[in-house]
Chain A
Amino acid sequence: MPIAETRNTNPKNLISGATGDWEVIIGLEVHAQVLSASKLFSGASTEFGGEPNDHVSLVDAAMPGMLPVINEECVKQAVRTGLGLKAKINHRSVFARKNYFYPDLPQGYQISQFDQPIIGEGEIIVEVGPDRQGEFEEIRVGVERLHLEQDAGKSLHDQHPTMSYVDLNRSGVALMEIVSKPDMRSSEEAKAYINKVRTILRYLGTSDADMEKGNLRADVNVSVRRPGEPFGIRSEIKNVNSLRFAGQAIDYEARRQIGVLEDGGVVDQETRLFDPAKGETRSMRSKEEAHDYRYFPDPDLLPLEFDDAFVEALKADLPELPDEKRERFQSDFGLSAYDTDILVSDRAIADYFEAVADGRDAKQAANWVINDLLGHLKKAGETIETTPVSAAQLGALLDLQSEDVISGKIAKDVFEIMFSEGGDPRDIVEARGLTQVTDTGAIEKLVDEVIAANADKVAQVAEKPSMIGWFVGQVMKASQGKANPQAVNKLLKDKLGLD
Chain B
Amino acid sequence: MSDLTSLTIAGIREALATKTFSALELTDAYLAAINKANDKFNAYVALTPDKARDMARASDARIAAGEAGALEGVPLGIKDLFCTRGVHSQACSHILDGFKPAYESTVTANLWADGAVMLGKLNMDEFAMGSSNETSYYGPVVNPWRSTGSNADLVPGGSSGGSAAAVAANMCAGATATDTGGSIRQPAAFTGTVGIKPTYGRCSRWGTIAFASSLDQAGPITRTVRDAAILLKSMASVDDKDTTSADVEVPDYETAIGGSVKGLKIGIPKEYRMDGMPAEIEELWQRGIGWYRDAGAEMVDISLPYTKYALPAYYIVAPAEASSNLARYDGVRYGLRVPGDDVIDMYENTRAAGFGQEVKRRVLIGTYVLSAGYYDAYYLRAQKVRTLIKKDFEDAFDAGIDAILTPATPSAAFGIAEMATASPVEMYLNDIFTVTVNMAGLPGIAVPAGLDNAGLPLALQLIGRPFDEAMLFRTGQVIEDAAGRFVPERWW
A296: chain B residues at CB < 8 Å are 320-321, 324, 370, 375, 379
Instruction: Please name the residue on chain A nearest to B90 by beta carbon.
Output: A64
A299: chain B residues at CB < 8 Å are 212-214, 244, 321
Q: How far is the CA of A249 from the CA of B332 in the complex (A)?
A: 34
User: Does A408 make an interface contact (CB < 8 A)?
Assistant: no
CB-based contact A64/B96 at 8 Å: yes
CB-based contact A106/B91 at 8 Å: no
Cβ 8 A contact of A106, one of B82, B240, B332, B372: B332
Mask for B180-214, Cβ within 8 A of A = 1, else 0?
Answer: 00000000000000000000000001111110111
Number of B residues, CB within 8 Å of A: 44
CB-based contact A62/B333 at 8 Å: yes
Cβ 8 A contact of B206, one of A61, A67, A70, A109: A67
CB-based contact A65/B210 at 8 Å: yes
User: Does B6 make an interface contact (CB < 8 A)?
Assistant: no
User: Does A156 make an interface contact (CB < 8 A)?
Assistant: no
User: Does A97 make an interface contact (CB < 8 A)?
Assistant: yes
CB-based contact A97/B324 at 8 Å: yes
CB-based contact B241/A69 at 8 Å: yes
Mask for A280-305, Cβ within 8 A of B = 1, else 0?
Answer: 00000000000010111001111000
Q: How far is the CA of A123 from the CA of B326 in the complex (A)?
A: 40
CB-based contact A63/B334 at 8 Å: yes
CB-based contact B209/A65 at 8 Å: yes
CB-based contact A294/B371 at 8 Å: yes
User: Does B243 make an interface contact (CB < 8 A)?
Assistant: yes
CB-based contact A166/B332 at 8 Å: yes
Q: Which of A64, A103, A294, A296: most chain B Cβ within 10 A? A: A64
Stretch of B101-109, B416-424, B460-468 at the chain-chain interface: B101-109
B101: chain A residues at CB < 8 Å are 63-65
A58: chain B residues at CB < 8 Å are 102-103
Instruction: Please name the residue on chain A nearest to B331 by beta carbon.
Output: A103
Q: Which of A65, A66, A69, A107: most chain B Cβ within 10 A? A: A65
Mask for A35-69, Cβ within 8 A of B = 1, else 0?
Answer: 00000000000000000000000100111111101
Q: How far is the CA of A124 from the CA of B102 in the complex (A)?
A: 48
CB-based contact B213/A64 at 8 Å: no
B330: chain A residues at CB < 8 Å are 101, 103, 108
List which B305-344 residues lie within 8 A (CB) of chain A.
320-321, 323-324, 326-328, 330, 332-334, 343-344
List which A104-121 residues lie within 8 A (CB) of chain B.
106-109
B83: chain A residues at CB < 8 Å are 64-65
Q: How far is the CA of A300 from the CA of B4 in the complex (A)?
A: 41
Mask for B400-431, Cβ within 8 A of A = 1, else 0?
Answer: 00000000000000000000000000000000
What is the CB-to-nearest-CB distance from A335 to chain B, in angstroms, rounded to a whole number?
A: 50
Q: How far is the CA of A160 from the CA of B365 in the complex (A)?
A: 38
What is the CB-to-nearest-CB distance from A149 to chain B, in angstroms, rounded to a whole number?
A: 16
CB-based contact A62/B210 at 8 Å: no
What is the CB-to-nearest-CB distance from B361 to chain A, in angstroms, rounded to a whole number?
A: 17
Interface of chain B, helix or strand or loop or mixed?
Answer: loop
User: Does A164 make an interface contact (CB < 8 A)?
Assistant: yes
Q: How far is the CA of A103 from the CA of B345 in the complex (A)?
A: 12
What is the CB-to-nearest-CB distance from A294 to chain B, in angstroms, rounded to a whole number?
A: 4
User: Does A195 make an interface contact (CB < 8 A)?
Assistant: no
CB-based contact B321/A65 at 8 Å: no
Contact status of A67 and B327, CB under 8 A, knowing A61-B333, A296-B370, A299-B213: no
B349: chain A residues at CB < 8 Å are none
List which B346-379 residues lie within 8 A (CB) of chain A.
347, 367, 370-372, 375, 379
Instruction: Please name the residue on chain A nearest to B370 by beta carbon.
Output: A294
CB-based contact A64/B99 at 8 Å: yes
User: Does B242 make an interface contact (CB < 8 A)?
Assistant: yes
A474: chain B residues at CB < 8 Å are none
Mask for A442-467, Cβ within 8 A of B = 1, else 0?
Answer: 00000000000000000000000000
CB-based contact B242/A67 at 8 Å: yes
User: Does B176 make an interface contact (CB < 8 A)?
Assistant: no
User: Does A99 make an interface contact (CB < 8 A)?
Assistant: yes
Contact status of A103 and B343, CB under 8 A, knowing A64-B83, A292-B371, A294-B324: yes
User: Does B89 make an interface contact (CB < 8 A)?
Assistant: yes
What is the CB-to-nearest-CB distance from B179 to chain A, in angstroms, rounded to a whole number?
A: 16
Q: How far is the CA of A109 from the CA of B323 in the complex (A)?
A: 11
CB-based contact A67/B333 at 8 Å: no
CB-based contact A99/B328 at 8 Å: no
Mask for A70-85, Cβ within 8 A of B = 1, else 0?
Answer: 1000000000000000
Q: How far is the CA of A166 from the CA of B242 in the complex (A)?
A: 27
Q: How far is the CA of A107 from the CA of B210 in the complex (A)?
A: 12
A108: chain B residues at CB < 8 Å are 324, 326-328, 330
CB-based contact A300/B328 at 8 Å: no
Contact status of A302 and B328, CB under 8 A, knowing A65-B83, A99-B370, A296-B320: no
CB-based contact B320/A66 at 8 Å: no
Q: How far is the CA of A292 from the CA of B371 in the complex (A)?
A: 7
A107: chain B residues at CB < 8 Å are 327-328
What is the CB-to-nearest-CB distance from A494 to chain B, in angstroms, rounded to a whole number?
A: 85
Contact status of A65 and B367, CB under 8 A, knowing A101-B330, A108-B324, A301-B243: no
Q: How far is the CA of A49 from the CA of B429 in the complex (A)?
A: 54
Q: How far is the CA of A67 from the CA of B240 in the complex (A)?
A: 10
What is the CB-to-nearest-CB distance from A443 to chain B, in angstroms, rounded to a whole number?
A: 78
CB-based contact A67/B205 at 8 Å: yes
B333: chain A residues at CB < 8 Å are 61-63, 106
CB-based contact A294/B343 at 8 Å: no
Q: How far is the CA of A68 from the CA of B48 in the complex (A)?
A: 30
CB-based contact B206/A99 at 8 Å: no
Known: A109-B324, A109-B327, A292-B372. 5 other contacts (CB 8 A): A65-B207, A294-B375, A300-B244, A302-B243, A302-B244
Q: List 11 A-B contacts (CB under 8 A).
A: A63-B101, A63-B333, A63-B334, A69-B242, A99-B327, A101-B327, A108-B324, A109-B327, A294-B367, A295-B375, A299-B214
Interface residues of A (CB under 8 A from B): 58, 61-67, 69-70, 97, 99, 101, 103, 106-109, 164, 166, 292, 294-296, 299-302
The 10 closest A-B pairs by CB, nearest first: A108-B327, A294-B370, A299-B213, A299-B214, A62-B328, A65-B207, A64-B209, A292-B372, A65-B83, A65-B209
